[in-house]
Chains A and B, each alone.
Chain A
């Protein structure tokens, strides 16, 4: 039944893609069809996924369907777990998309010409993304996996390159493509090494690979390959470009939904390859921590909401990798409880991130479409015009800030608790790395609170621009509202239902760690503990009772004790300055709020400031003569400036040199192929 449901989903998506490619966005009626197909297909896959988590693993033999030998699908708990997540999000995002594409242009903004979506490709790209993600997760062999992986690369390229209106966007989609291709190359190489060693392309068979140089090398390649997808430093630079370049809610599909295949791959390989080398664990823990910190620091100083959210993806990738690092420690030391707590924490964080990230991107896309841009100065005070989107945005922001009562609080609690178990680990290197990773994660959690306070305070609750009636179309449509509600409420009910979620995750993680061990995270039906008993406890469900009751009690006490005097307020107009004020902006905006951080972290951000006195006024901007002051501030992304830019110089030099080989003579090319073949054979022999 699950295989059939899965197949049904894939077929529906195929039909959706076909409709998009043939009819395209030709009419208002046809435009939503691919996304309705997305919704339907996701529902089918979700049903299959739930059965997969509950049931026994099943192998579906596809024979030589792809024409490259025997291929198969493996429908087990882990696949079910991740499919539940991706298809659940697929339903929400598709619902939002249905409304999104139905709406025409808004009165203002650069998107004023024509409908939001026109021509072919976007719907098909989305269908391809959904299909590729699903196939990756259920792939049972290297061929199927890599085939789907490369399809996902194509989907990313299409989605981030659909709006080729500016040079920046075209460039962004190229950067995305480059990193996706490199990630695919790493995985291909690793899979070839493993398959060559075992003699089988079936993924499950690789657990037989003996520990050694080859095991370690392929492990590292796999971490790098999947790390590029989830934004591990130094492979994160494509994210803040690629995500914002996509159209509207498609960003959510990329950042919230598709990113999970990276985590799935890591989880799966941990189960298959087993104990990783110590140096790799230390590297993952430290790089993860660094990723989290760099991501959040850059998120804090961005002026564009989409970039803030994209950088927060980098941060969350880092946090999840740290959790994964703890699981690696557990695996390496043979401590199932440690493995369980690390994996559980990382999975919960992945869930929280996926849901919250989808919320943020979808909500911002709705507001952006009406306001004509996604900078803080444009998306300000969205609560006044877009209550539905704003509520979703707020839920997502609170989740990623790790505040109760959201699922983000639960997951961050687990991550930090998992890192605190470092005293149970023997071996200085691992202990130090865990402590280092923990410190970095704690620091970035603090900065994350600032990031999302800024988002809430300005984008959601700020004073909206004063120019008359604000367009509010982005918030309309039953389908869109349902999608927002699904995603936004997910941040809350997942926390309220945390015990059930953990049981579900425990069942899903079965292929890696025994379900019974993970279930120890439940101290009692309502109370959670970090798998190890007697350490600390938390009951997110109870928080849902305590927080409202506490607030009501305090309010009642205030009213009662003051004998209702607290309700009698002396009201006066807002105090500003005793003068008539200034003609320009005179209160803190999002930029100024972040400037403190720009100062404190000047060394990390490489921020520079410069003040220039310029002759002449700027009457058009309301600055009278005879002089005015120009203030310029710049920031440098260290990874890009110090790794990629010098690297690009070397690469270009190498390319120029290599061009000499391009002689155009057939015999020369045959000679190159021969040399390459000999080199490959030599490498395989040497490693074998």
Chain B
């Protein structure tokens, strides 16, 4: 793993450079963030080339309050620039739609003020009725969320509908915005990992991994093999739990009561296996800079037994589920993301892979133990782009993940008195870390100064993919909504940070 090469240029040139790279078809835009440093704004974009990641840094002139929007050339930048506009207060000129996205708040800014807010008092709660965006006979707007039926994270979907059809969907994610980017500033590296685990709680391991890998990259630490294997084991179990969660929501939506209870049972067992292995159901506190916190709490042999039982149960139920026509009928042709759109947007994770993408950070840019344990079954890819394809991709990945976990446990069983952690020497600088979370690729742009986190910006796959969510509604109707949402399998916490 190498440091991401960084290119520096003028703020006004950013749109052109990114536009050219993306239009050439070789790179995709993986992220675009703004960091106020002093009285200057630094825009940092991440481009994913087939063989490497590139960070492009563009400094705006001191006091500048706008720059030419990247979105005008690369539509995938839209949500990133809205986030920048909300958080920092600079305006991407020529952006087609600058509605509030991550900051609800109608924030009274003093003229020329460009920075992330600091205190609770500084923001004003926006409690106005929302304007409609669609016109037509009998159209109405259904505000679905943030408090809606069932136990869900807070997100608001605005369905503009004439009844039954859903011609237009808008998403508001700001209800959960927690100011994570600002919270990272000044934390110690150890506390940074803990915060990373809480950015997107259902993908704690992947976030801790991405953060730690950025730090380890700066310090040029080589992990001991057992530590890398333990990390892989937990990351894969986390993937299984998340993919099962998606299946659970599908079965619940389709009214498959027995399948639903069976799948919740499997998910519970995965979480319990995590707890048996490390003492925490979400494997928090396992990944630390320089390795993992310690050895497994049960022997690899015992863990292999539990894993085999789990695998047997999941496989049988998944096979039966995918042979249940009343279930498949609800998913087939629902929520189609065409491969061309997915490629243009750079759709991540199972959403992208169900629409023809073959990107999986585990094999495209392997890290840790994936360098050794790389499975031939990866990446699982299909190109129908519907909810069923996403379901197939996830089920295939559950199989691969359980296989990878088994492989890691078998290797661990052969290691005695293993070392699980090395010291991480102090090293300052800017680094990019990544990991493949269940939702897709996670990026951490971490800047260390003086041994502490000066700035860090997590970019969850949920944020990137959620921008694509409204495009999944073609001919779909209300009853398809639950499947489209479940098949995206996103975490709102990750999307609203």
Say yes or no: is B62 at the interface (Cβ < 8 Å to chain A): no
Q: C-beta contact mask, A518-545 vs B, less than 8 Å → 1, else 0?
A: 0000000000000000000000000000
Q: C-beta contact mask, A602-635 vs B, less than 8 Å → 1, else 0?
A: 0000000101000000100111101111111100
Q: Determine if B135 and A578 form an interchain contact, defined as CB atoms under 8 angstroms apart.
A: no
Per the bound structure, the CA–CA distance linking A579 and B175 in Å amounts to 10
Say yes or no: is A553 at the interface (Cβ < 8 Å to chain B): no
Residues of A within 8 A of B50 (CB): none
Q: Determine if B156 and A596 form an interchain contact, defined as CB atoms under 8 angstroms apart.
A: no
| Given known A577-B145, A582-B158, A587-B140, contact A624–B131 (CB-CB < 8 A) | yes
| Given known A584-B141, A631-B168, contact A591–B129 (CB-CB < 8 A) | no
Residues of A within 8 A of B127 (CB): 580
| Given known A591-B163, A631-B135, contact A586–B168 (CB-CB < 8 A) | no
Say yes or no: is B152 at the interface (Cβ < 8 Å to chain A): no
Say yes or no: is A147 at the interface (Cβ < 8 Å to chain B): no
Q: Determine if B158 and A592 form an interchain contact, defined as CB atoms under 8 angstroms apart.
A: no
Say yes or no: is B57 at the interface (Cβ < 8 Å to chain A): no
Residues of B within 8 A of A303 (CB): 137-138
Per the bound structure, the CA–CA distance linking A593 and B163 in Å amounts to 6
Q: Determine if B141 and A586 form an interchain contact, defined as CB atoms under 8 angstroms apart.
A: yes
Say yes or no: is B245 at the interface (Cβ < 8 Å to chain A): no
Q: Name the distance in Å between B71's Cβ and chain A's nearest Cβ.
A: 12
Say yes or no: is B258 at the interface (Cβ < 8 Å to chain A): no
Residues of A within 8 A of B146 (CB): 578-579
Say yes or no: is B147 at the interface (Cβ < 8 Å to chain A): yes
Q: Determine if B477 and A599 form an interchain contact, defined as CB atoms under 8 angstroms apart.
A: yes
Q: List the A residue with the shortest CB-CB distance to B147.
A: A578
Q: Determine if A611 and B168 form an interchain contact, defined as CB atoms under 8 angstroms apart.
A: yes
Residues of A within 8 A of B311 (CB): none
Q: Name the distance in Å between B26's Cβ and chain A's nearest Cβ.
A: 29
Q: Determine if B167 and A583 form an interchain contact, defined as CB atoms under 8 angstroms apart.
A: no
Q: Determine if A595 and B163 form an interchain contact, defined as CB atoms under 8 angstroms apart.
A: yes
Say yes or no: is B165 at the interface (Cβ < 8 Å to chain A): yes
Say yes or no: is B439 at the interface (Cβ < 8 Å to chain A): no
Q: Determine if B138 and A628 form an interchain contact, defined as CB atoms under 8 angstroms apart.
A: no
Residues of A within 8 A of B165 (CB): 595, 599, 609
Per the bound structure, the CA–CA distance linking A578 and B143 in Å amounts to 9
Say yes or no: is B312 at the interface (Cβ < 8 Å to chain A): no
- By size class, the interface of chain B is 20 to 34
Q: Determine if A611 and B167 form an interchain contact, defined as CB atoms under 8 angstroms apart.
A: yes
Say yes or no: is B121 at the interface (Cβ < 8 Å to chain A): no
Q: Determine if A581 and B143 form an interchain contact, defined as CB atoms under 8 angstroms apart.
A: yes
Say yes or no: is B425 at the interface (Cβ < 8 Å to chain A): no
* Of the residues B131, B162, B164, contact of A631 by C-beta under 8 Å: B162
Q: Determine if A592 and B130 form an interchain contact, defined as CB atoms under 8 angstroms apart.
A: no
Residues of B within 8 A of A579 (CB): 130, 143, 146, 156
Q: Name the distance in Å between B480's Cβ and chain A's nearest Cβ.
A: 12
Residues of B within 8 A of A423 (CB): none
Q: Determine if B134 and A631 form an interchain contact, defined as CB atoms under 8 angstroms apart.
A: yes
Per the bound structure, the CA–CA distance linking A453 and B493 in Å amounts to 43
Q: Determine if B143 and A595 form an interchain contact, defined as CB atoms under 8 angstroms apart.
A: no
Residues of A within 8 A of B140 (CB): 584-589, 592
Per the bound structure, the CA–CA distance linking A586 and B161 in Å amounts to 10
Q: Determine if B128 and A633 form an interchain contact, defined as CB atoms under 8 angstroms apart.
A: no
- By size class, the interface of chain A is 35 or more
Residues of A within 8 A of B129 (CB): 580-583
Q: Determine if A596 and B136 form an interchain contact, defined as CB atoms under 8 angstroms apart.
A: no
Q: Name the distance in Å between A585's Cβ and chain B's nearest Cβ.
A: 4
* Of the residues B133, B138, B164, contact of A599 by C-beta under 8 Å: B164
Per the bound structure, the CA–CA distance linking A582 and B129 in Å amounts to 5
Q: Determine if B130 and A581 form an interchain contact, defined as CB atoms under 8 angstroms apart.
A: yes
Per the bound structure, the CA–CA distance linking A626 and B144 in Å amounts to 24
Residues of A within 8 A of B447 (CB): none
* Of the residues A577, A628, A631, A632, contact of B144 by C-beta under 8 Å: A577
Say yes or no: is B377 at the interface (Cβ < 8 Å to chain A): no
Say yes or no: is B96 at the interface (Cβ < 8 Å to chain A): yes
Say yes or no: is B142 at the interface (Cβ < 8 Å to chain A): yes
Say yes or no: is A341 at the interface (Cβ < 8 Å to chain B): no
Q: Name the distance in Å between A219's Cβ and chain B's nearest Cβ.
A: 45
Q: Name the distance in Å between B85's Cβ and chain A's nearest Cβ.
A: 14
Q: Determine if A623 and B135 form an interchain contact, defined as CB atoms under 8 angstroms apart.
A: yes
* Of the residues A580, A599, A622, A626, contact of B132 by C-beta under 8 Å: A622
Per the bound structure, the CA–CA distance linking A581 and B144 in Å amounts to 10
Q: Determine if B97 and A586 form an interchain contact, defined as CB atoms under 8 angstroms apart.
A: no
Per the bound structure, the CA–CA distance linking A630 and B136 in Å amounts to 6
Say yes or no: is A300 at the interface (Cβ < 8 Å to chain B): no
Q: List the B residue with the shortest CB-CB distance to A590.
A: B138
Say yes or no: is B139 at the interface (Cβ < 8 Å to chain A): yes
Residues of B within 8 A of A580 (CB): 127-130
Q: Determine if A584 and B145 form an interchain contact, defined as CB atoms under 8 angstroms apart.
A: no
| Given known A577-B143, A592-B140, contact A582–B130 (CB-CB < 8 A) | yes
Scan residues 427-450 of chain A and give those whose CB is less than 8 A from a CB of chain B. Answer: none
Residues of A within 8 A of B238 (CB): none
Q: Determine if A582 and B138 form an interchain contact, defined as CB atoms under 8 angstroms apart.
A: no
Per the bound structure, the CA–CA distance linking A447 and B31 in Å amounts to 53
Say yes or no: is A338 at the interface (Cβ < 8 Å to chain B): no
Q: C-beta contact mask, B94-120 vs A, less than 8 Å → 1, else 0?
A: 001100000000000000000000000
Q: Determine if B145 and A622 form an interchain contact, defined as CB atoms under 8 angstroms apart.
A: no
Per the bound structure, the CA–CA distance linking A587 and B161 in Å amounts to 10
| Given known A592-B163, A599-B164, contact A628–B147 (CB-CB < 8 A) | no
Per the bound structure, the CA–CA distance linking A365 and B117 in Å amounts to 60
Q: Name the distance in Å between A33's Cβ and chain B's nearest Cβ.
A: 43
Say yes or no: is A10 at the interface (Cβ < 8 Å to chain B): no
Residues of A within 8 A of B156 (CB): 577, 579
Say yes or no: is A39 at the interface (Cβ < 8 Å to chain B): no
Say yes or no: is A594 at the interface (Cβ < 8 Å to chain B): yes
Scan residues 35-80 of chain B and give those whose CB is less than 8 A from a CB of chain A. Answer: none
Residues of B within 8 A of A618 (CB): 135
Per the bound structure, the CA–CA distance linking A592 and B130 in Å amounts to 20
Q: Name the distance in Å between B100's Cβ and chain A's nearest Cβ.
A: 12
Say yes or no: is B216 at the interface (Cβ < 8 Å to chain A): no
Q: Name the distance in Å between B92's Cβ and chain A's nearest Cβ.
A: 13
Residues of B within 8 A of A593 (CB): 163
Q: Name the distance in Å between A605's Cβ and chain B's nearest Cβ.
A: 14
Q: Determine if B147 and A631 form an interchain contact, defined as CB atoms under 8 angstroms apart.
A: no
Q: List the A residue with the shortest CB-CB distance to B95.
A: A626
Q: Name the distance in Å between B172's Cβ and chain A's nearest Cβ.
A: 8
Per the bound structure, the CA–CA distance linking A587 and B141 in Å amounts to 7
Q: Determine if B138 and A589 form an interchain contact, defined as CB atoms under 8 angstroms apart.
A: yes
Q: Determine if B168 and A629 form an interchain contact, defined as CB atoms under 8 angstroms apart.
A: yes
Q: Determine if A595 and B164 form an interchain contact, defined as CB atoms under 8 angstroms apart.
A: yes
Say yes or no: is B160 at the interface (Cβ < 8 Å to chain A): yes
Q: C-beta contact mask, A391-402 vs B, less than 8 Å → 1, else 0?
A: 000000000000
Per the bound structure, the CA–CA distance linking A623 and B99 in Å amounts to 13
| Given known A579-B146, A582-B141, A585-B140, contact A633–B131 (CB-CB < 8 A) | no
Q: Name the distance in Å between B425's Cβ and chain A's nearest Cβ.
A: 49
Q: Name the distance in Å between B94's Cβ and chain A's nearest Cβ.
A: 10
Residues of A within 8 A of B135 (CB): 618, 621, 623, 628-631
Q: Name the distance in Å between B256's Cβ and chain A's nearest Cβ.
A: 24
* Of the residues B136, B147, B158, B477, contact of A633 by C-beta under 8 Å: B136
| Given known A585-B140, A588-B140, A611-B168, contact A628–B163 (CB-CB < 8 A) | no
Q: Determine if B96 and A627 form an interchain contact, defined as CB atoms under 8 angstroms apart.
A: yes
Centre residue among B97, B128, B141, B162 by max chain A CB count within 10 A: B162
Query: In the complex, given contacts A584-B132, A594-B163, what are 15 additional A-B residue pairs having Cβ atoms less than 8 angstroms apart?
Result: A303-B137, A577-B147, A578-B145, A579-B146, A581-B129, A582-B132, A584-B131, A586-B142, A592-B140, A592-B161, A595-B162, A599-B165, A609-B167, A627-B96, A630-B135
What are 29 sample pairs from A and B whose C-beta atoms fall under 8 A apart? Answer: A576-B143, A578-B146, A578-B147, A579-B146, A583-B132, A585-B141, A586-B143, A587-B140, A589-B138, A591-B138, A592-B161, A595-B138, A595-B162, A595-B163, A596-B163, A596-B164, A599-B165, A599-B477, A611-B168, A622-B132, A623-B132, A623-B133, A623-B134, A627-B96, A627-B97, A629-B135, A630-B134, A631-B136, A631-B167
Identify the 6 closest CB pairs spanning chains A and B, nearest first. Answer: A591-B138, A592-B163, A631-B136, A595-B163, A584-B132, A578-B147
